[in-house]
């Protein structure tokens, strides 16, 4: 799949006169893994919905390869083939009786042949490692399984950019491992992945770019650098990553420390 560049420029979105995005700029690195970080209510879901075309900004522009989104029917249809959003709650997204029917709904709506729909569904099931669920009724599935079916449904649209809203929320540790494995498969499949989360430890470990929402604007950068900025982390109402807290307690510079392994390596270097 070709990499397309998704970006937001000066995005403004408000509800009931209250501003949520207030001039947000964001460029999603092609083929990369981006974490969108912010406290509850900071506007993560609103920003993802704006990037997906579901919310139209009152000012500013969402662009793909430098071209602004056309909010007409055909334009949004084209945008959805580039950018897909997976909602935080799978039950907001899944509606068909069984897994196959749910995942095939989008491709069928594109008017693809039966063979191509089957091929897309098989591929999405394989990437998410849920081939065994194909015939199962949705209501029989666990929360983690429903989350993966929702991701498979988005993937079957063959987006260049997949936006995932709090994909780890509500998952147990094994569910998180399975999700991360699925994200790796998506990245290997040349899909750009954006994950909205307030989990700084996950973001530091997983992402290669972080976007932190503060007062309706976005600060982008290398995760370890951004998250070692105590003032920014406090302004975003986030917690400092645990490895950074430990590094601080040990009197070490936290920037560059992304996981326990690099903390241990930095300690060894000081021996
Ligand atoms: N459809 C909506 N109508 C009214 N207010 C909304 C709507 N969507 C979001 N908001 C408000 O916008 C703010 C940001 O919400 P949201 O984007 O869901 O934040 P986050 O995902 O970071 O928790 C919140 O104050 C929320 O109540
Ligand atoms: Mg949200």
Neighbours of ion ligand 2 (CB under 5 A): 44-45
Q: Is 20 helix (H, G, I), strand (E, B) or coil?
A: strand
Atom of ligand 1 nearest to the CA of 196: 21
Which is nearest to 153 in space by CA: 84, 76, 78?
Answer: 84
Which is nearest to 210 in space by CA: 223, 198, 199, 197?
Answer: 223
Dist. CA 43 → ligand 1 center (Å): 6
Strand intervals (E) in 16-170:
18-28, 33-37, 59-64, 67-68, 83-86, 161-165
- Which tokens hold the place of 250? 């040990």
Residue-level pLDDT at 1? 53
**Dihedral sign, Cα of residue 135, residue 136, residue 137, residue 141:** negative
Dist. CA 165 → ligand 2 center (Å): 7
Which residues have a Cβ under 8 Å from the Cβ of 55 and sit 6 or more positions away? 13, 46, 49
What tens-digit pLDDT sequence spans the chain (271 residues)? 558 999 999 999 999 999 999 999 999 999 999 999 999 999 999 999 999 999 999 999 999 999 999 999 999 999 999 999 999 999 999 999 999 999 999 999 999 999 999 999 999 999 988 999 999 999 999 998 999 999 999 999 999 999 999 999 988 888 888 889 989 988 988 899 999 999 999 999 999 999 999 999 999 999 999 998 999 999 999 999 988 888 888 888 877 777 777 887 777 777 6
Residue 70's alpha-carbon distances to 1, 9, 54, 227, in angstroms, are: 22, 15, 12, 35
Dist. CA 43 → ligand 2 center (Å): 7
Residue-level pLDDT at 2? 59
Residue 179's alpha-carbon distances to 144, 249, 266, in angstroms, are: 9, 32, 29
CA distance 195 to 147: 14
Q: Is 162 helix (H, G, I), strand (E, B) or coil?
A: strand
Residue-level pLDDT at 178? 87
| Beta carbons of 243 and 263 less than 8 angstroms apart | yes
Atom of ligand 1 nearest to the CA of 198: 22
Domains within the chain, CATH numbers bracketed: 6-240 (3.40.50.300)
Residue-level pLDDT at 266? 79
Which is nearest to 200 in space by CA: 239, 230, 228?
Answer: 239
Buried b (16+ CB within 10 A) or exposed e, 145-179: bbbbbbbbbbbbbbbbbbbbbbbbeebeeebeebb
15: burial class by Cβ within 10 Å (0-12, 13-18, 19+)? exposed
Any atom of ligand 1 within 6 Å of the Cβ of 15: yes
CA distance 137 to 98: 4
């Amino acid at each position: 799949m070709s990499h397309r560049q998704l970006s937001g420029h000066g995005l403004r979105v408000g509800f009931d006169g209250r501003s949520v995005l207030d001039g947000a700029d964001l460029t999603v690195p092609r083929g990369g893994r981006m974490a969108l970080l912010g406290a509850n209510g900071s506007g993560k879901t609103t920003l993802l919905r704006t990037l997906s075309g579901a919310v139209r900004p009152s000012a500013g522009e969402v662009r793909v390869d430098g071209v602004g989104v056309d909010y007409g029917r055909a334009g949004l249809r084209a945008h959805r083939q580039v950018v897909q959003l997976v909602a935080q709650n799978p039950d907001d997204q899944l509606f068909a009786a069984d897994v196959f029917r749910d995942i095939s709904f989008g491709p069928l709506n594109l008017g693809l042949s039966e063979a191509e729909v089957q091929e897309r569904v098989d591929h999405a099931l394989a990437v998410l490692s849920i081939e065994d669920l194909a015939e199962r009724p949705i209501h029989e599935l666990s929360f983690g399984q429903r989350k993966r079916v929702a991701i498979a449904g988005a993937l079957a649209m063959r987006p260049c950019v997949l936006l995932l809203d709090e994909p780890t929320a509500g998952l147990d540790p094994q569910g998180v491992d399975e999700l991360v494995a699925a994200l790796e498969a998506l990245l290997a499949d040349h899909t750009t992945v954006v994950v909205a989360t307030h989990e700084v430890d996950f973001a530091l470990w997983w992402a290669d770019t972080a976007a932190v929402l503060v007062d309706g604007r976005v600060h982008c950068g290398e995760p370890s650098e951004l998250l070692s900025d105590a003032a920014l982390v406090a302004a975003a109402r986030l917690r400092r990553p645990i490895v950074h807290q430990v590094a601080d307690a040990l009197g070490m510079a936290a920037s560059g420390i992304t996981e326990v392994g690099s903390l241990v390596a930095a300690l060894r270097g000081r021996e």
